[in-house]
Structure 1
């Protein structure tokens, strides 16, 4: 049986502590803090964070760090950009492999067919299906225009 993401992250945190890997440890602690924040927010409704929510959190963290790295590079702060990109690598260890462009196109076509989408008004339903199945595996910012083009 595969471990859930929370367990994998906790185990990686313990390993980083034992290895005295400060950079990895710091990133793993940030991941844990983000998950705990989400736990607290959902506790009001009597829910807890599962793997789909953790994947969404990790995806958001990757995107934030990529944007920060880009800003640092533009500002000539290469050491800070490298630190952000190193954090991205640690976070990506817990994300499923990204779909290739061909796989993403096939997933979009399948979702359109599943939903029976016929116009741009069905875009939200198509994106909902994709997010349900492929969170952490595709860049929805890039997939959105692809869906729009197919439904347009």
Structure 2
């Protein structure tokens, strides 16, 4: 049986604690807490199992995006040391994410999904975006993907 992402994160926290890597420990504890929060919300929706790996990947992608925005804000306000810490946290979180799709790979995947689903117009965009979100969780910037899907369906 393969280890779930949550197991990998827990194991990494233990390893980082042994190595006294305080930045990694604090970042991974934040990740773990966010996963537990999402589990609690899932239980409130009567989903007994909590969240699965695809939802964890979506959560990690959201955390990366938040840190990228924070790093930019810190840079813009003359706080390069805080921006650098955000970038270090991004790298730690990305260790648990699959390699993102390149622009060309994204276009190829979207073309395949459009063909597979028979989508022909913009009203089918939600269907394609849903397929991307489930099949490529954590590998796709949904903002960029939306523009590519729209371009593909409008042409």
Answer yes or no: same fold by TM over 0.5. Answer: yes
Q: Any runs of at least 4 consecutive aligned residues in structure 1 with deviations exceeding 3 A, and if so which? A: none
Q: How does 1:38-77 map to 2 (within 5 A)?
A: 38-44=38-44, 45-47=46-48, 48-77=50-79
Counting only pairs closer than 5 Å after superposition, residues 2-81 of structure 1 correspond to structure 2 as 2-44=2-44, 45-47=46-48, 48-81=50-83
C-alpha displacement of 1:62: 0.2
Q: CA RMSD in A?
A: 0.8
Gaps of 5+ in 2: none
Partner of 2:112: 110
Cα offsets for 1:82-123 (capped at 9, x unmatched): 000000000000000111111111111011112110001100
Aligned length: 152
Separation of aligned partners in 2, 1:111 and 1:149: 14
Which residue of the other structure, out of 128, 138, 141, is the alignment partner of 1:139?
A: 141
User: Residue 138 of structure 1: CA displacement?
Assistant: 1.2
The residue number in structure 2 matching 1:89 is 91
CA distance in 2, matches of 1:117, 1:53: 25
State the 1:2 CA deviation: 2.9
For the residue of structure 2 that corresponds to 1:150, the secondary structure is helix
TM-score, normalised to structure 2, is: 0.96
